[in-house]
Amino acid sequence: MRSSMLPGLCKLGCASNSAKPFFGSLSGARLRANGILTAYENKELSYFIRMEEQTMNNTPLVQLENVSRIYQQGKVQVAAVTEFSLKVQAGEFSVLCGPSGSGKTTILNLIGALDEPTLGKVRLEGRDLAELGRSGLARLRRDRIGFVFQSYNLNPVLTACENAEFVLALQNIPFAERRRRVMAVLAEVGMAELAERRPDELSGGQQQRVAIARAIVSHPAIVLADEPTANVDSATADAILDLMVKLNREQGITFLFSTHDQRVMDRAHRLIHLRDGRLERDEVRG
């Protein structure tokens, strides 16, 4: 990119800075100093521009339109989610809450393109997931979505560092660049010192921190976290929540959790209450 193109870019960064601190990570000064962007910076830049366009157009980051998911169990049909609609905007810290079996995991799986609705549409960043095809969906999961699961789901034979950087390897990011990025993110989640340990050498809370690092290292549009504090003690749950709140505030990362943990619900900006697969109440807090 030529430096003559930069003023517009800097304007874009400055305009966004007041609302979303994470735009600041591509500072005008650094761009001007470099003159030319690396491939990674170019990718990062196009992401920021797309986010900026979405914010300006007010396109929801996630949109579910009248979605139903019906499982067929032999001759019996189980309606996990029924006629459910939802919009999530970039920057939210929102929670899907409801008793066990109310459809939380099903909804996260639909948004994360791990499952398809029986009826209705799921859109991410304005794109209808049904139109993306297999490889498009795989790319979307790799590049735009970070997952945090209740049971961490780390690869047991990889170190913390290798687990967290795996998605960057899939993106063909060169080794030195991905090590630099993954170590920065592991430091952010307080795991830099333990980067060379395998999951069985880490506590549950430490494994969940690695899972959070893995989820955010590729700058996803949204992190989907399915009951992320369910398997840890309450002090660890608080620490994990503090970390996610900080990532949301300081880096503008959008989080959508599922939980029935009151501590998670107390920290959310918005509570989307589910009952029997239907929206019961959508509660926005200050």
- Tell me which residues touch ligand ADP (CB under 6 A): 71, 73, 78, 80, 98, 100-106
**Closest CB to Mg ion among residues 108, 215:** 108
* Of the candidates 100, 108, 66, the residue with the CA atom closest to the CA atom of residue 85: 66
Confirm if 199 and 207 have CB atoms less than 8 A apart: yes
- At closest approach, how far in Å is the CB of 82 from ligand ADP? 10
From ligand ADP, Mg ion, none, which one binds at residue 213 (CB under 5 to 8 Å depending on kind)?
none
Select the residue whose beta carbon is closest to Mg ion and give its number.
105
Q: Compute the least distance from the CB of residue 227 to Mg ion, in Å.
A: 6
Q: Which does 73 bind (CB under 5 to 8 A by kind): ligand ADP, Mg ion, none?
A: ligand ADP
CB of 226 vs Mg ion, minimal distance in Å? 6
Determine the interface stretch with Mg ion among 57-65, 96-104, 170-178, 202-210 (rule: CB under 5 A): 96-104
- DSSP string of 139-153, one letter each residue: HHHHHHEEEE-TT--
Closest approach of Cβ 101 to Mg ion, in Å?
A: 8
Cβ nearer to ligand ADP, comparing 63 with 102: 102
Sequence-separated (6 or more) residues with CB below 8 Å from residue 161: 179, 182, 183, 186, 195, 196
E-assigned strand segments in the chain: 62-73, 76-88, 93-97, 119-124, 127-128, 145-148, 222-226, 254-259, 270-275, 278-284
Of 236, 269, 235, 266, the closest CA to residue 252 belongs to: 269
Q: How far is the CB of 273 from ligand ADP (least distance, A)?
A: 11
Residue 127, Cβ neighbours under 10 Å: how many? 15
Which of Mg ion, ligand ADP, none does residue 178 bind (CB under 5 to 8 Å by kind)? none
Can you give the three-state secondary structure of 37-88, one letter per residue? Answer: CCHHHHHHHHHHHHHHHHHHHCCCCEEEEEEEEEEEECCEEEEEEEEEEEEE
Q: How far is CA 65 from the centre of its chain?
A: 20
Q: From the list Mg ion, ligand ADP, none, which binds 63 (C-beta under 5 to 8 Å, kind-based)?
A: none
130 interacts with, out of Mg ion, ligand ADP, none, CB within 5 to 8 A per kind: none
Which lies closer to ligand ADP via its Cβ, residue 94 or residue 105?
Answer: 105
> Can you tell me the distance from the alpha carbon of 185 to that of 25, in angstroms, rounded to the nearest whole number?
14
Helix/strand/coil for 90: coil
When the beta carbons of 105 and 163 are compared against ligand ADP, the nearer one is 105
- Report DSSP state, residue 159: -
Q: CA-to-CA distance for 117 and 164, rounded, in angstroms?
A: 30
Q: Could you say whether residue 105 binds Mg ion (CB under 5 A)?
A: yes
Q: Are 270 and 77 in contact (CB under 8 A)?
A: no
**What, of Mg ion, ligand ADP, none, does residue 103 touch, CB below 5 to 8 Å by kind?**
ligand ADP
- Decide whether 105 or 159 has the Cβ nearer to Mg ion: 105
Give the binding range for Mg ion (CB under 5 A) out of 15-23, 89-97, 98-106, 269-277.
98-106
Cβ at position 105, least distance to ligand ADP in Å: 3
CB of 266 to ligand ADP, least distance (A): 19
What is the Cα gyration radius of the chain? Answer: 19
Q: Which residues bind Mg ion (CB under 5 A)?
A: 104-105
